[in-house]
């Protein structure tokens, strides 16, 4: 379950943004955990008609989540510019994260991200976050991350991260997910899960794990990891006779494409620290209750985190790091109370 603090850190790092199509709010909170291992990305102007949002829940360390928040959307953009297919680009980008973290360059970058986290933590104990709404720049094509030389010595991080991302392109919504973070759509007040929590007891996940030489004990892969897909966790991806999608743990995402309609109100992306406490419908109901009361969507996000925070660590639920992004669809903005 990880190490807990004697009292939770309830300070939040929050942000808001909007363009002609959508507005969003995001917030994260360390809570009872001894360190903050979540990260997120919000890129309003992914291109002229697309926005990108992602939540990344790290385990065993914070650096893989931070790596994904820094690079995954750049890889998606680079691939989409080449092939014009966002779904294919998302699948390629998820798998490429593992490749980019191998070798000397990957090792250096992970070390820098870990060091940056330490430097960004101020004397008051709050981790300061740089704004995620930044212009897309070509940060992944200038250097070759996948040369033979780059893969020497370092096989990749033993820590890992979930990845749940969404791209909103006019009336099309694309969701890609690996792990147990979740994306939920509110359609006329009804919650629709647009991703599936990749837990080891799901039949297709269990089958892949066992066929790759792994096992499940007490609901955990090889007795340790309580999710079946993740970026990183390279010690569980070492079978040289199997492709990446058939390893014990895979970064290969499920991809879901949805046509948005006038009944669609908002999108929620959150790590399992939220979903351990709230069901998808409970989260939608709570957000609808507050979305027209608060001036900023980040304030709604903060209320969700406060609602989910456990009063103590007895039960474990409500004690995790928490990150949430709420994206409101402007073309369907209306009073939803």
Predicted confidence pLDDT, tens digits, the chain (337 residues): 458 999 999 999 999 999 999 999 999 999 999 999 999 999 999 999 999 999 999 999 999 999 999 999 999 999 999 999 999 999 999 999 999 999 888 999 999 998 765 444 333 333 333 334 444 444 555 455 655 454 567 889 999 999 999 999 999 999 999 999 999 999 999 999 999 999 999 999 999 999 999 999 999 999 999 999 999 999 999 999 999 999 999 999 999 999 999 999 999 999 999 999 999 999 999 999 999 899 899 999 999 999 999 999 998 899 999 999 999 998 653 333 3
Length of the chain: 337
Pick the CATH number of 4-332 from 3.60.40.10, 1.10.600.10, 3.20.20.10, 3.30.930.10: 3.60.40.10
> Shortest CA distance to 54 belongs to which of 76, 30, 22, 32?
76
Contact 42, 15 (CB under 8 A): yes
d(CA 72, CA 218): 32
Which residues are registered as beta bridge partners of 268? 184, 326
Angle at 63 between CA 142 and CA 298, to 5 degrees: 95
pTM of the model: 0.90
pLDDT digits (tens, 9 = 90+) for 17-70: 999 999 999 999 999 999 999 999 999 999 999 999 999 999 999 999 999 999
Please answer whether residues 271 and 40 qualify as being in contact, where contact means their C-beta atoms are separated by less than 8 angstroms: no
């Amino acid at each position: 379950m990880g190490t807990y603090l004697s009292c939770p850190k309830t300070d939040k790092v929050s942000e808001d943004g909007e363009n002609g199509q959508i507005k969003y709010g995001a917030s994260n909170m360390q809570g009872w955990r001894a360190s903050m291992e979540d990260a997120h990305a919000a890129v309003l102007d992914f291109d002229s008609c697309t926005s990108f949002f992602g939540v990344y829940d790290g385990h065993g360390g914070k650096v893989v989540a931070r790596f994904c928040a820094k690079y995954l959307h750049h890889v998606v953009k680079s691939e989409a510019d080449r092939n014009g297919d966002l779904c294919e680009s998302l699948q390629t980008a998820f798998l490429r994260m593992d490749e980019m973290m191998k070798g000397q360059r990957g090792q250096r970058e992970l070390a820098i991200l870990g060091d940056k986290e330490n430097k960004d933590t101020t004397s008051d104990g709050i981790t300061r976050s740089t704004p995620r709404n930044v212009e897309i720049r070509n940060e992944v094509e200038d250097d070759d991350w996948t040369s033979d030389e780059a893969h020497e010595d370092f096989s990749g991080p033993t820590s890992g991260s979930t990845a749940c991302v969404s791209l909103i392109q006019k009336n099309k919504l694309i969701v890609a997910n690996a792990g147990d973070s979740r994306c939920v759509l509110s359609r006329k007040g009804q919650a629709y899960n647009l991703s599936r929590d990749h837990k080891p007891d799901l039949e297709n996940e269990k089958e892949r794990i066992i066929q790759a030489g792994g096992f499940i004990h007490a609901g955990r892969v090889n007795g340790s990891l309580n999710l079946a897909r993740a970026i990183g966790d390279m010690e569980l991806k070492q079978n040289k006779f199997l492709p990446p999608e058939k390893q014990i743990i895979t970064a290969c995402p499920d991809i879901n494409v949805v046509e948005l309609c006038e009944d669609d109100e908002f999108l929620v992306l959150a790590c399992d620290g939220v979903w351990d406490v709230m069901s998808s419908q409970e989260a939608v109901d709570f957000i609808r209750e507050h979305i027209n009361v608060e001036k900023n969507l980040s304030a709604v996000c903060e209320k969700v985190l406060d609602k989910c925070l456990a009063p103590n660590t007895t039960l474990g639920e409500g004690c995790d790091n928490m990150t949430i992004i709420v994206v409101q669809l402007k073309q369907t903005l209306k009073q939803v109370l």
